[in-house]
Amino acid sequence: MPAVDEPSEGVPPEEVEPPRAPGRPRDPELEARVQRAALQVFGEVGWRGLTMDAIASRARVGKSALYLRWADKGEVLVAALRGAQNDAFGVTDDDEETPDAAPSASVRDYLVRHALHRANLYLGEYGLAMMRLYTDVWANPDILGTLRERAVTRFVLDERERVAAAIKRGEFAPGASAMRILDAIEGAVLMHVLVTPAPLLPRVRAGIQEYVDLMVDDQLRAAGYRGPATAPDDEPTRIVVAAP
């Protein structure tokens, strides 16, 4: 990854500790605290206001401890964003696919679960940081475009491949587009949270499951979703029939 932050940020080179040597014990509690601090600061002040000094101060750790683990603020932010996404979707970096990608799940149920995870991510502790990433990337495309790709793309590609496979199997009307279906679903979730006044957010959180259920059904109906040939045995599938 290209350098996105001056490693020393004003600290003389001789005062910057070297990178963590192979085999050096990790401190999960420190890393979690630092990543949480990075997401909080990034959400509040954006990319330009995010510094290693600010992260260290918020996490209450020495800046040298950051440089033992990450080269710059970009690496901290990537790790933090990826961790927040993994937690929201219930996966780890070692997982080859997300839990909802199981072949037995219908496309409808798969998309509902993904949309619900995304909504809860936006409505959760790090929602502001996720939304800040989408807006700040326009001002800093060379840097934040890479961060967005590394932290977010995995989940989007999972969705696109799953929907594209369903289209190929004939579960959608001819001409259906995986990209347009996912744009509509992901965009609806984002806008639902983004345009809601802060005092109404508790109501949105309380009703998010019903909203996602109905919204996904609306989008699938518009795309001519016909449902799977055989519903999964372990969970009833709500079949959405294309309007005549």
Q: Where are the domains of the chain?
A: 13-79, 84-222
Q: Which residue has the tokens 């509690």?
A: 29
CA–CA distance, 85 with 191 (Å, rounded to integer): 19
- Cα–Cα distance measured from residue 101 to residue 83, given in angstroms and rounded to the nearest whole number: 19
- Name the fold adopted by 84-222: Tetracycline Repressor; domain 2 (1.10.357)
Instruction: Check pLDDT > 70 for residue 138.
Output: yes
- Percent of the chain residues past pLDDT 70, beyond the cut: 75
104 Cβ contact partners less than 8 Å away, ≥ 6 residues apart: 232, 233, 234
Q: pLDDT band for position 6 (50/70/90)?
A: very low
Per-residue model confidence as pLDDT tens digits over 167-205: 999 999 999 999 999 999 999 999 999 999 989 999 999
Name the more confident of 132 and 233: 132
pLDDT of residue 13: 41
Q: Can you give the length of the chain in residues?
A: 244
Check residue 230 and give its pLDDT: 54
- The per-residue pLDDT for 10 is 44
Q: Given this model, what pLDDT does residue 102 score?
A: 53
Where is average pLDDT lowest: 108-117, 139-148, 219-228? 139-148
Across residues 126-137, what is the average pLDDT?
Answer: 88
Of 30, 166, 9, 157, give the one whose Cα is nearest residue 74: 9
Helical segments of the chain, H only: 28-49, 52-59, 63-67, 73-89, 107-123, 127-139, 141-168, 178-194, 201-206, 208-222
Radius of gyration of the chain (CA): 21
Instruction: Kindly tell me if the per-residue pLDDT of 48 is higher than 80.
Output: yes
Is pTM beyond 0.75? Reply is no
Whole-angstrom distance, CA of residue 226 vs CA of residue 183: 20
pLDDT value of position 18: 44
Q: What is the largest CA-CA distance in the chain?
A: 72
* pLDDT > 90 fraction of the chain, expressed in percent and rounded: 52
Report the Cα 78 to chain-centroid distance in Å. Answer: 11
| The predicted structure's pLDDT at residue 140 | 80
Region 12-37: mean pLDDT is: 63
Of 23-27, 216-220, 226-230, which gets the smallest average pLDDT? 23-27
Is-same-fold flag (13-79; 84-222)? no
The topology under which CATH files domain 13-79 is Arc Repressor Mutant, subunit A (1.10.10)
Q: Looking at residues 213-237, what average pLDDT do you find?
A: 77
pLDDT, averaged across the chain: 80
pLDDT tens for residues 72-131? Answer: 998 899 889 888 888 887 776 665 555 555 556 799 999 999 999 999 999 999 999 988
Residue 185: which of 89, 115, 85, 108 has the closest Cα?
A: 115
